[in-house]
Chains A and B, each alone.
Chain A
Amino acid sequence: MHELSITQEMVKIVVEQAEKSNISKITKINLVVGELTGYAGESIQFYFDFISKETLAEGAELVFRKIKGTLKCLNCEESFELPEFNYICPYCHSDRVNLSGGNELFVESIEGE
């Protein structure tokens, strides 16, 4: 259900940008979605089809670039994909890490004419 509010916000952002850039029809919206945010592309598309009606974004194609959950080791500074069973760095075995990827949610670009 949480896709509804973020889809409304997304449509607002792309329509504002299109107006600023003198685009009369948005054809593509490139979105970046981190895996840990739990947003389902299908669900965003579902709401988008309703919300975008009669806006500059109506009919635009939604393209999702997914970002995997990533940790960065605070000791050796290597990054690695979120492990399943523990938060230990596979390179230096340190147990001090930071979440460095997977929580993104932004509009990367729009395409239009």
Chain B
Amino acid sequence: MEIPVLKDILSANDQIAIENHELLESKKVYGINIMSTPGAGKTSLLLQTIRGLKNTIKTGVIEGDVSSNIDAKKIAREKIPVLQVNTGGECHLDANMVSRAIKKFPLDKIELLFIENVGNLICTAEFKLGLHKNLVISSTAEGDDKPLKYPLMFTVADVIIINKIDLLPYVSFNSKAYRDAVKSLNSKVEIFEVSCTTGQGIEKWLAWLQKQVKKHNKSARNKE
């Protein structure tokens, strides 16, 4: 006897992601899920962003890592709320881990929440977390072919940051080829080029981000 099931294996995850989204909305918090390969600059970008927004937007960070808390310690020095989530070997954050974390997090004290996912371009793309935007960071040293190798990640991205542009003279990264591949798959995505080392391009990224948070704050107020 064959019985049709047709049930998505990630449907339980997706349901929890919806609940996460509702919790963030009820607390008027705008959430960004940061994904990249290990070493592309997730933590460096976070540090630049936190410092850049210090006097304008109240920010918090949830750090996802397989086992260490090195990144959380770096963020904690910035004197903002931070929580470490260890996945215990899993190579991605899932909605359930995020659900437990945001229930513990002082959401009342922030307007913007970053969740730094585990460094991985494959399964992190599949597990919805329920945040507002997916941010993908690529670094020039990785080469320009990542959008061709990991199309799913570049399809779910809402905003992309190309980091380490200070290395462009030394590495083989064709910015046009990269952008063409990304834009083919995902014409709506915003792309910024930055160097977290020199600070180049960070201002443009911060201006865009501030605009998003303001827009969200306004629509949250209108709902009241």
Contacts and interface: CB of A to CB of B under 8 A. Distances in A.
A5 B93 CA distance: 11
Contacts of B181: 86-87
Nearest to B180: A95
B5 A1 contact: no
Contacts of A99: 151-152, 155, 185
B10 A9 contact: yes
B5 A82 contact: no
A84 B12 CA distance: 33
A101 B121 CA distance: 18
A113 B151 CA distance: 41
A88 B8 contact: no
Interface residues of A, number: 40
Contacts of A13: 5, 7, 9
Contacts of B123: 2, 37-38
Interface residues of B, number: 31
B126 interface: yes
Interface in B90-108: 90-92, 94
Given A2-B90, A88-B184, A106-B9, A37 B126 contact: yes
23 contacts: A2-B122, A13-B5, A17-B3, A18-B3, A36-B151, A37-B122, A37-B123, A38-B122, A82-B151, A87-B180, A87-B184, A87-B185, A88-B184, A96-B187, A97-B185, A99-B151, A99-B152, A102-B151, A106-B8, A107-B5, A110-B3, A110-B5, A111-B3
Interface of B: 1-10, 12-13, 89-92, 94, 122-123, 126, 147-148, 151-152, 155, 180-181, 183-185, 187
Nearest first, the 7 closest Cβ-Cβ pairs linking A and B are A87-B184, A2-B123, A38-B122, A107-B5, A106-B8, A95-B184, A99-B155
Interface of A: 1-2, 4-6, 9-10, 12-14, 17-18, 21, 23, 36-38, 69, 82, 84-88, 95-99, 102-103, 105-113
